[in-house]
Amino acid sequence: MAKGRRIVSISETAGADGMLAMLKHKGVSRREFLRFCAVIGATLAVPVEMVGKIADALASVRRPPVIWLEFQDCAGCTESFLRASRPTVAEIVLDLLSVDYHETIMAAAGRQAEEAREATIKTGGHLVIVEGSIPIKDGGLYCCVGGRTAMEILSEATRGAAAVIAVGNCAAFGGLAAAEPNPTGAVGVRDLVKGVPVINLPGCPVNAINITATVVHYLTFKSLPELDAWGRPLFAYGKRIHDNCERRAHFDAGQFVEAWGDEGHRKGWCLYKMGCKGPETYSNCPTVRWNEGINWPVGAGHGCVGCTQPGFWDTMTPFYRRLPTVPGFSVESTADKIGLGLAAAAAVGVAAHAVASSVRRKTKGTEES
């Protein structure tokens, strides 16, 4: 954790009560709170001794103010964040933060809402969470809120901010709106925001646990976690889906689903031949799962669509076509040779995935022609 980037401008004077007092007020027991800290510690992959440090830090931390902006989005990340069973992670995190501005959930409207945002910006040291891509074509007119473009609002909101968290593939990499032919000129946050640390939490939608873990890391260690070349935290995006997949043994054994509903599908065999993009996708989905850890797409019988990868709408489609040959990974020949050579591919690690994605993008046109 010491290697994470230090954020010195965290606003520890903003907000009101400590976390523990607020949770007690809401009826969340200390046992539930410690269980939450343990889950987050596991997600962050910190040693178990650090759970106490997380608990101590959160128990006393003052809530940093947050501005949550929505631009070219479907509000799916907000929905993902809010839809959870009790005691909800979302509730606990919302209690960790002072969400001063969020178009979907705030009670204020109109001028009142704008003033809340302006006051937070004026104080500074806040977090900005961005959902949705930002159109830059034609002066940014394709996304306006209150008569101002997303570009203007983002620029203003990030002024004096401690950090920006881009949630979902749209905010991180442009997402669906940036898919070819991208008529609005949609881009991700990192293409526009300079001089403020930006952390990308892609996914379609983002997994709420990764927002929570990032915020907890920030509050506990006063720093952002270590990031990969795409600005994604390694604790969540450091390993491929394929590396931790529960169907991996079937891949290695050459047991593949050949048609939806066939015997292999009913037995939980590997979905690679049905188009699973797990071998090229970096995410902690298999370990943290979704909906409070109940299940995840591959567990439910559908292949991974690669939604945490840059440009996945262009680079990972058609979703139901098996991955082409990828130099450096040899995925196609690996499947045909019943897993031979996969161990070597797995060892390539984080540094290689940007190269692989780039190669895939270049080869896609050839594969589909």
Annotated binding site for [4Fe-4S] cluster: 74, 77, 170, 204, 242, 245, 270, 276
Q: Kindly indicate which of the ranges 145-153, 204-212, 298-306, 352-360 contains the residues binding ligand SF4, using the contact rule CB under 6 A.
A: 298-306
Q: Minimum CB separation from ligand SF4 for residue 283, in Å? A: 10
Q: Minimum CB separation from ligand SF4 for residue 238, in Å? A: 16
Tell me: does residue 245 bind ligand SF4 (CB under 6 A): yes
Q: What is the distance between the alpha carbons of residues 58 and 56, in angstroms, rounded to a whole number?
A: 6
Query: Which residues are annotated binding-site positions?
Result: 74, 77, 170, 204, 242, 245, 270, 276, 285, 304, 307
Query: Which residues are annotated binding-site positions for [3Fe-4S] cluster?
Result: 285, 304, 307
Q: Minimum CB separation from ligand SF4 for residue 242, in Å? A: 4
Q: What is the distance between the alpha carbons of residues 94 and 97, in angstroms, rounded to a whole number?
A: 5
Among 157, 271, 342, 356, binds ligand SF4 (CB under 6 A): 271
Which tokens belong to 158? 């990030």
Among 247, 316, 345, 356, binds ligand SF4 (CB under 6 A): 247
Q: What is the distance between the alpha carbons of residues 352 and 113, in angstroms, rounded to a whole number?
A: 45
If the CB atoms of residues 88 and 287 are measured against ligand SF4, the closer one turns out to be 287
Contacts of 217 (CB under 8 A, 6+ apart): 1, 4, 44, 223, 224, 225, 233, 235
Alpha helix stretches (DSSP H) within the chain: 19-25, 30-44, 50-60, 76-82, 89-96, 110-123, 150-157, 168-173, 208-221, 234-237, 241-244, 248-252, 263-266, 285-288, 312-315, 331-336, 342-346, 350-368
Contacts of 240 (CB under 8 A, 6+ apart): 278, 279, 280, 281, 282, 346, 353
Q: Kindly indicate which of the ranges 103-111, 137-145, 174-182, 273-281 contains the residues binding ligand SF4, using the contact rule CB under 6 A.
A: 273-281
Q: Kindly indicate which of the ranges 27-35, 51-59, 276-284, 348-356 contains the residues binding ligand SF4, using the contact rule CB under 6 A.
A: 276-284
Q: Kindly indicate which of the ranges 165-173, 205-213, 243-251, 353-361 contains the residues binding ligand SF4, using the contact rule CB under 6 A.
A: 243-251
Site string for ligand SF4, 196-235 (x = CB under 6 A): ----------------------------------------
Q: Kindly indicate which of the ranges 76-84, 92-100, 238-246, 359-367 contains the residues binding ligand SF4, using the contact rule CB under 6 A.
A: 238-246
Among 101, 251, 296, 313, binds ligand SF4 (CB under 6 A): 251
Which tokens belong to 170? 């749209």
If the CB atoms of residues 87 and 279 are measured against ligand SF4, the closer one turns out to be 279
Q: What is the distance between the alpha carbons of residues 270 and 245, in angstroms, rounded to a whole number?
A: 9
Phi, psi of 28 (to 5 degrees): -90, 120
Helix axes 208-221, 30-44, angle to 10 degrees: 100
Among 272, 290, 296, 312, binds ligand SF4 (CB under 6 A): 272
Count of residues making up the chain: 369
Tell me: does residue 270 bind ligand SF4 (CB under 6 A): yes
If the CB atoms of residues 44 and 276 are measured against ligand SF4, the closer one turns out to be 276
Let me know: does 228 contact 237? Beta carbons within 8 Å: yes
Contacts of 291 (CB under 8 A, 6+ apart): 83, 84, 85
Tell me: does residue 278 bind ligand SF4 (CB under 6 A): yes
If the CB atoms of residues 232 and 248 are measured against ligand SF4, the closer one turns out to be 248
Contacts of 243 (CB under 8 A, 6+ apart): 346
Let me know: does 73 contact 105? Beta carbons within 8 Å: no
Q: What is the distance between the alpha carbons of residues 124 and 316, in angstroms, rounded to a whole number?
A: 39
Q: What is the distance between the alpha carbons of residues 97 and 350, in angstroms, rounded to a whole number?
A: 31
Among 51, 55, 61, 304, binds ligand SF4 (CB under 6 A): 304
Let me know: does 276 contact 270? Beta carbons within 8 Å: yes
Q: Kindly indicate which of the ranges 133-141, 191-199, 246-254, 360-368 contains the residues binding ligand SF4, using the contact rule CB under 6 A.
A: 246-254
Tell me: does residue 242 bind ligand SF4 (CB under 6 A): yes
Residues lying near ligand SF4 in the complex (CB under 6 A) = 241-242, 245, 247-248, 251, 270-272, 276, 278-279, 298, 303-304
